[in-house]
Every structure is written in structure tokens, then in C-alpha cells.
Amino acid sequence: MEIERKFLTKELPFDITAYPCKAITQAYLSFSPTIRIRRSNADYILTVKGKGHLAREEFELPLSEEEYNRLSLKTEGTPVCKKRYLVPIEGNLTAEVDIYEGELQGLMTTEVEFSSVEAAEKFVAPAWFGRDVSEEKAYKNTSLLRNPKGALIQSSFLIAAAYPVTVMPMKQTSRGGRVCITDDMIRYS
């Protein structure tokens, strides 16, 4: 059983590079049910996930590098790439700060796993975690893979609402929509 909460993080009040980091690449063999393969540094894992947001069934199976490479040829869409930093927090918990790369560059989330639903519901997140998006389908990795620009645009406007800046209107270009938030804060194209 996986029990976790996920937050949309805007900025960190510390140097994230001081903490252990994993380079993660994950891709999906199926979205329903969710079947994922992941490379985390030198570890390779196949994961099957059940339905749900806060709590859901999860089964993991270690893979060899060869098995991972063969399965990666059968995945759907572009893999999600991110750096995951492991930050110890109060209550003997670990905040997993994910800084996304590639099409999702500019997105940062923080996840915390819990031993029970009760512990997850009682958890009071530090202010730097940002907005709780645990129940929002748009921030599941399967959704991020399917619509990376949608998550970035949503994140931009949420950040803009919380931190006053000048927001320029979305412009349509031959390559798709473009969001520009001034004051050197966030720019996506």
C-alpha cells in the first residue's frame, strides 16, 4: 500500500544540492492499470499501481538493466525525467523533492510517504512545501506525461496568483500555446 501526499512547490528555503539525490527516468507500459518502469540511479523497477489518490495498492518488482531496456521499447509517450532529493523532515519523515527536466522543466513537487492514512491526514506540511495537490489528477505522473504543458501552465497561474507579478496573455504560435510570466519568474513556451 502506498500512502502519500504531494505538493506543488514554488521555491526552497535551503540549498537542495546538500541532500542525497536520485536521477529518475520513468515511463509507462499502461495507464489503466498503471504499469510503470523506472530507473533510479542504478536500480531498475517495474511498478503496478491501483486506483486512488492518497492511498492505493502498489506492487514493485526489481528488474535487470537488460529487462528495463527491453521494456522501455514498449512504453507509451515520452519518459518523465526528474532529480529526486531526499530531505529529512520532522516526525522521522522524508520529503522527496522532485525537480522535473525535459518537457516538464520548471515544475517542482514534494511528496511524503506515510505508514497510515491517519498519519497522512494529520500531517501539517511546512510552508515551503506549497499547495497540496494530492487529490488533483493533473499532478499524477501519468497525467504529467500525457499533458506536460497543461501542468506547467496551471502551475504558472497558481504561482502568479500567490505571488503578484505581471502575467502576459497566452499567445498562440505555430508551435502551440505560450505562457510568459514577467519579473524573471517563469517563462514557458
Of these residues, 28, 44, 100, 188, which one is catalytic?
28
Phi, psi of 22 (to 5 degrees): -120, 135
3-state secondary structure of 52: coil
- 85 catalytic per annotation: no
75: left (phi over 0), alpha (psi -120 to 50) or beta: beta
3-state secondary structure of 147: coil
Residue 10 neighbours by CB under 8 Å, 6+ apart:
108, 130, 159, 162, 163
Longest dimension (CA), the chain: 50
Question: H helices of the chain, where?
Answer: 65-72, 117-122, 141-146, 148-162
Residue 95 neighbours by CB under 8 Å, 6+ apart:
86, 87, 88, 89, 110, 111, 112, 129
Name the amino acid, one letter, at 178: R
Give catalytic residues, as residue numbers. 28
